[in-house]
Amino acid sequence: MRDRLLDLPVAEIVSRIRAGDQPLYETLFSAYWGPLYRVAFAMMHDSADAEELVVHVLSSVWERRATWDVRGSLESYLATAIRNQARMVWRSEARRQRLTQQYVAPGESPAMGQPLSPDAEVEVDRMLAAETAIEALPERYRLAVRYRWYEHRSYEDIAALMAISPGAVRILVSRALTLVRTALND
C-alpha cells in the first residue's frame, strides 16, 4: 500500500486529504502505521505508548487537514511529528514527576492510595482547568499555543509552520493567553 501511496507527489496527497479524501487518508494511515510504530516504540519502549503516539499523530492529520502542510517528504514529516509528540509526552511526564516530588511527602505515593496534599490538589486542578481552557480555544490559537508553550518553539519557527508572520503568531499567542485567563477566572 505504501508503494502505491508513494507514487503520488506529496503535494497531491496533501491537497487531496485537505479536500477530504478519506480513502486516501485511510491508505496513508495503513501505509505508515508500521514504520511510525517502530519509530515510536524505539523512543517510548512501550507498545501501548507507541500505539497511542501513532494514533495521535495520524489522527491529527485528518483532524487538522484544512491547515495540514508538508514541506519535504511525507516520511520525514510524520517521523518528526512522532518525535515531537514523544517529547511532549516526556515533558508532561517530567512535569507530573516534579509536582509529585514537590507535593507528596517522601515515602508516600498517590498511586498507593496516599492522598495528595491540599496544595497539590489545587495545583493539579489548576493545571487541568488550564488544559481544558486551551483545548476549548479556536484551532489556530490552540495550535500556536501548543507550539509555543508545549514545544517551546520560537515565534519564527511557529510562523514558518503556520505560514504566517512572526507578528501574527505573537498576536495569536497573546489572544490565546487572554482567552485562557478569562476562562480560568470564570
Read off the pLDDT of residues 165-181 as tens digits, 9 standing for 90 and up.
989 999 999 999 999 88
Q: Which residue from 13, 165, 141 is spatially nearest to 78, judged by alpha carbons?
A: 13
**pLDDT tens for each residue of 42-93:** 877 788 888 988 998 998 899 889 999 898 888 888 988 888 888 777 666 6
**CATH code 1.10.10.10 region(s) in the chain:** 115-186
Of the given ranges (34-48, 80-94, 112-126), which has the lowest mean pLDDT? 112-126
End-to-end CA distance of the chain: 50
Q: Pick the more confident residue, 55 or 99.
A: 55
Q: Which residue from 14, 42, 48 is spatially nearest to 28, judged by alpha carbons?
A: 14
**CATH code 1.10.1740.10 region(s) in the chain:** 1-105
Above pLDDT 90, what percent of the chain?
Answer: 22
State which fold the 115-186 domain adopts.
Arc Repressor Mutant, subunit A (1.10.10)
In this predicted structure, what is the pLDDT of residue 13? 93
Asked whether residue 2 carries a pLDDT value surpassing 90, the answer given is no
140's grid cell: 489556530
Locate cell 505560514: which residue?
163
As a CATH number, domain 1-105 is 1.10.1740.10
